[in-house]
Structure 1
Amino acid sequence: MSAASDPATPPEGPLHVAIIMDGNGRWAAARGLPRAVGHREGVQALKRTIEAAPKLGVGCLTVFGFSTENWSRSADEVSDLMGLVRSYVASDLKRLEKAGVRLRVLGRREGLPRDIAEIADRAETQTGHNSKFLLQVAFNYGGRADIVDAARAHVDAVLAGTATGPLDEATLGAGLATAGGPPVDMIVRTSGEQRLSNFLLWEAAYAELIYQDILWPDYGPEGLADAVAQFRDRDRRFGGRPAPALAAG
């Protein structure tokens, strides 16, 4: 595994920020509005955050759009979320491409409506040549499922004779949906909740965890700037110990 993808290697250059965009439903409920309105406002918060990210030293943004567990929500809410994907890509994909954003969709294509899977493929193909900024959207994604899928893929490759050797950390990491991207520097969760909710479980090993008491539809440049400032104040040791200070001569 190269240093660029090793989670125990201190980062150099732009940050990789991952966000659990939580609080859309509570934002809507507090205003007596349907949950769908909260999700729509959440899309606007995402747009603000993407625009602000490069100015704050962020080179990669990974957001949790739809988990493998979210299928248990009501059919109407799931339909609303799928509709937001369709409208967002229709309205913003060309703008993102022109701005130099590369879009990756992390998660299982199986189980998605056919047109949503096709939208994901088209977005990746259309922006694949860009390199100014990496936007990763975890959709139909679960951290446990991703690890299982990577392990199964290795076993299948061994049985097919296309891979040899044991399943080690480097091999498993190379099979994850995030493979090829930069290591995660920090995971932010909005709304005040303090858990990962099955998001980037492998990648979280050396990520800084930052919890912000703000509902996602209210998020934007100020919230992201605060998260980055908190990250900059952390003493990241990656399992080691700081070097002892030299005594004054």
Structure 2
Amino acid sequence: MNENVPNHVAIIMDGNGRWAQNRGLKRTKGHQKGAEVLKKISEYVYDKKIKVLSVFAFSTENWKRDKEEIDYLMKLFIKAFKGNFNVIKEKGVKVVFSGLKNKLSKKVIDTMDKMQEETKNNKNGIFNICLNYGGQDEIIEATKKISALVKDNKIDVKDIDKELFSKNLFNDLPPIDLLIRTSGEYRISNFMLWQMAYAELYFTDTLWPDFNEEEFDKALDAFNKRERRFGGVKK
């Protein structure tokens, strides 16, 4: 395959619960398997010289789930972050988190802060973990920051442009080139709305715990077959 490797890949990791239920298991077993898959896929992504990987770990809407499942997920996040951290760190990848810290426990926040601090100078890539995240919330928070700058006379309204707005998001990341969503759902679920303006969308029926390197390559193959015109016309 003649690859044009995307710079920024984002993944909505969907289907953990259904994977478990299809096997007569508790939903938490699906999340555990999903965390193992994320470890393998994240390593594979950086081995392919993709610079930025964003993953949707937990949305602001996920708080509606049962408390038992949420408590398990929060413990799993800490365990998975620590388990995957050394490999990511060795690859020289910078870890960042996007989302709101309210509702997150001190243990989760401390783990996030430690990972960000220890990798802040890494230059080989970025691993963006979206936790307690919503795309609309991100845009609102950026708007609040910019409004405060205008109010304090630090900038003028005419200074507001796409570059300034991007710098005031949770993290100033490059545009998403390829979005992958697993489990057969055909929607973007309030994920990285600003960054996804010109992303190529790839949907697969494969549930996240069954996703593997071969499935990832299928997404890359589909990406390479598309012509990206960014509003222009085919020449």
Under a length normalisation based on structure 2, what TM-score does the superposition of the two structures give? 0.93
Residue 51 of structure 2: SS of its match in structure 1? strand
Residue 117 of structure 2: aligned partner: 125
Residue 151 of structure 1: aligned partner: 143
User: Do the aligned partners of residues 138 and 84 (structure 1) sit closer, same or farther apart at CA in structure 2, a change above 3 Å counting?
Assistant: same
Q: Give 1:164 deviation, angstroms.
A: 2.0
Residue 103 of structure 1: aligned partner: 95
**Contact 1:52–1:220, Cα closer than 8 Å, also in 2:** no
Question: Structure 1: where are the runs of 5+ without partners?
Answer: 1-11, 244-249
For 1:175, give the aligned amino acid.
N
Q: Give 1:13 deviation, angstroms.
A: 6.6
What is the root-mean-square deviation of aligned Cα atoms in Å? 1.5
- Kindly name which structure, 1 or 2, has the bigger radius of gyration based on alpha carbons: 1
For 1:204, give the aligned amino acid.
M
Question: In the aligned structure 2, how far is the partner of 1:170 from the partner of 1:86?
Answer: 33
From 138, 162, 174, the counterpart of 2:167: 174
Residue 37 of structure 1: SS of its match in structure 2? helix
Question: Taking every aligned residue pair, what percent have the same amino acid on both sides?
Answer: 38
For 1:19, give the aligned amino acid.
I
Question: In the aligned structure 2, how far is the partner of 1:231 from the partner of 1:155?
Answer: 38
Residue 41 of structure 2: aligned partner: 49
Q: Give 1:27 deviation, angstroms.
A: 0.1
Question: In the aligned structure 2, how far is the partner of 1:238 from the partner of 1:99?
Answer: 32
Higher mean C-alpha displacement, 149-158 vs 169-178: 169-178
How many pairs align? 231
For 2:169, give the aligned amino acid.
L
**Contact 1:56–1:225, Cα closer than 8 Å, also in 2:** no
**Contact 1:104–1:136, Cα closer than 8 Å, also in 2:** yes
**Contact 1:22–1:190, Cα closer than 8 Å, also in 2:** yes
For 1:138, give the aligned amino acid.
C
Residue 58 of structure 1: SS of its match in structure 2? coil
Higher mean C-alpha displacement, 47-56 vs 119-128: 47-56
**Contact 2:39–2:84, Cα closer than 8 Å, also in 1:** no
For 1:156, give the aligned amino acid.
A
Residue 37 of structure 1: aligned partner: 29
1:215 matched to 2:210? The reply is no
Q: Cα deviation per residue 1:122-158 (whole Å; 9 max; x = unaligned)?
A: 1111111212221110001100000000001111121
Question: In the aligned structure 1, how far is the partner of 2:40 from the partner of 2:205?
Answer: 18
Question: Structure 2: where are the runs of 5+ without partners?
Answer: none
Question: In the aligned structure 2, how far is the partner of 1:214 from the partner of 1:58?
Answer: 22
User: Do the aligned partners of residues 101 and 201 (structure 1) sit closer, same or farther apart at CA in structure 2, a change above 3 Å counting?
Assistant: same
For 1:229, give the aligned amino acid.
D
Structure 1 segment 38-117 matched on structure 2, within 5 A: 38-117=30-109
Residue 206 of structure 1: SS of its match in structure 2? coil
User: Do the aligned partners of residues 159 and 208 (structure 1) sit closer, same or farther apart at CA in structure 2, a change above 3 Å counting?
Assistant: same
Higher mean C-alpha displacement, 140-149 vs 104-113: 104-113
User: Do the aligned partners of residues 226 and 13 (structure 1) sit closer, same or farther apart at CA in structure 2, a change above 3 Å counting?
Assistant: closer
User: Do the aligned partners of residues 178 and 13 (structure 1) sit closer, same or farther apart at CA in structure 2, a change above 3 Å counting?
Assistant: farther
Q: Give 1:99 deviation, angstroms.
A: 2.2
Q: Cα deviation per residue 1:62-87 (whole Å; 9 max; x = unaligned)?
A: 00000111111111111111001111
Question: In the aligned structure 1, how far is the partner of 2:52 from the partner of 2:193?
Answer: 18
User: Do the aligned partners of residues 91 and 211 (structure 1) sit closer, same or farther apart at CA in structure 2, a change above 3 Å counting?
Assistant: same
